[in-house]
Amino acid sequence: MLLDSLLKKRALIVALATQFGALSNAVGASCTTQSQMTQLQRDSLANQSRAMLVQVQNGDVQGLRANTVPAVAADFSGIMDSTLQLRPLLQRATITVDALYILDAAADPAGAARTDFFCGSPVVVMNFTDLPPATYALAILHATGVRQPQQISLILSRTSGDRWMLAGFFDKPMTEAGHDGLWYWTAARKFAQTKANWDAWFYYRQAAFLLDPADFLSSPHLENLRHESEAVHPNGLPTENPITLSTSGSAFTVTTIDATTAFGVLDLEVHYKPDPIQLAQLHNPLAARKQVTDIMLALLEQHPELRNAFHGIWVRADQGSLSLFALELPMTGIIPDQPSSNTRPTLSPR
């Protein structure tokens, strides 16, 4: 699933335990924005950050590890995996530096529970927990000119000789299903104006996923996005607890409803936990198809606006961590007793 990783983020917070927090009135450690840096500072930080992304482009895992602070290099598997996944996406990309910040926490007491940086105007806030005293930097880079553009945020630590070394690595796409975060934000607002809150909610979440470069960062724009999103939070979503979705003759325990772009289009994805009778029906392909199609129809009957916002619906029957059966239908194919030739391959019951 895409969004509950906020979701499917491969953001790797390595050795720096970070978390997004509310804005604080406390005085944080000092922050220098890109415009406040000297030309030498900007060039040094930008060049060293860009060189690390070139190592990712080349799949130079060992070279990147050599440029990593020892505490992180000692457990490098997460960054290595991310590097190997990103390499084919970035090989022909143009690397640009989007934003730079120097975060000076060198004078902070050791063991401080929280360190806040307030940067520039309008204020960008960064919240870290258990940050060791040192001077850090955040470099946000874009890899564009490729089919799947990416944004990569690097946490860097300054060592002797004004050398910047990698201390944290975050990556995420810049677009999903062919659209960027601003497009989803605009679309969410249009849905909200027509009271299509389910559509608006999922589109706001798509926008937040694409526009927020890292979980520890907040800005006025991101706060506005969050407030708009909360204003349309729909009832009836399985968040902390499952919901019951009733169809003709059956009731299904739905555990999650989210958006996914796993197949290149924006689909809705529904997970449910079959009861013993429903579980037995999944061994019959026709009965299984009818079961999950009934779930789709029941959801669309309750929320017909979903037809206009999504390409189709995935329904997955789960048992523990296993997916027992899955079916995707485009919205035009979700019709009672009329199988669609556009059905995507199913996962065979197992």
Question: Which residue carries 């937040």 as its tokens?
Answer: 208
Q: What is the pLDDT of residue 338?
A: 53
- What's the rounded Cα separation, in Å, for the pair 28 and 115? 6
What confidence score (pLDDT) does residue 112 get? 80
Distance in angstroms (rounded) separating the CA atoms of residues 317 and 272 = 5
176: CB partners within 8 A, 6+ apart: 2, 184, 206, 209, 210, 261, 266
Q: Tell me the whole-structure pTM to 2 decimals.
A: 0.85
| Contact (CB, 8 A) for 172 and 150 | yes
Contact 95, 143 (CB under 8 A): yes
Q: What is the DSSP code (8-state) at residue 109?
A: P
* pLDDT the model gives residue 2: 38
Would you put residue 320 in left (φ > 0), alpha (ψ -120 to 50) or beta? left
pLDDT per residue of the chain (350 residues) written in tens, 0 to 9:
433 333 333 333 333 333 333 333 344 489 999 999 999 999 999 999 999 999 999 999 999 999 999 999 999 999 999 999 999 999 999 999 999 999 999 988 877 888 999 999 999 999 998 889 999 999 999 999 999 999 999 999 999 888 999 999 999 999 999 999 999 999 999 999 999 999 999 999 999 999 999 989 999 999 999 999 999 999 889 988 999 999 878 999 999 999 999 999 999 999 999 999 999 999 999 999 999 999 999 999 999 999 999 999 999 999 988 999 999 999 999 988 654 444 444 443 33
pLDDT at site 21: 33
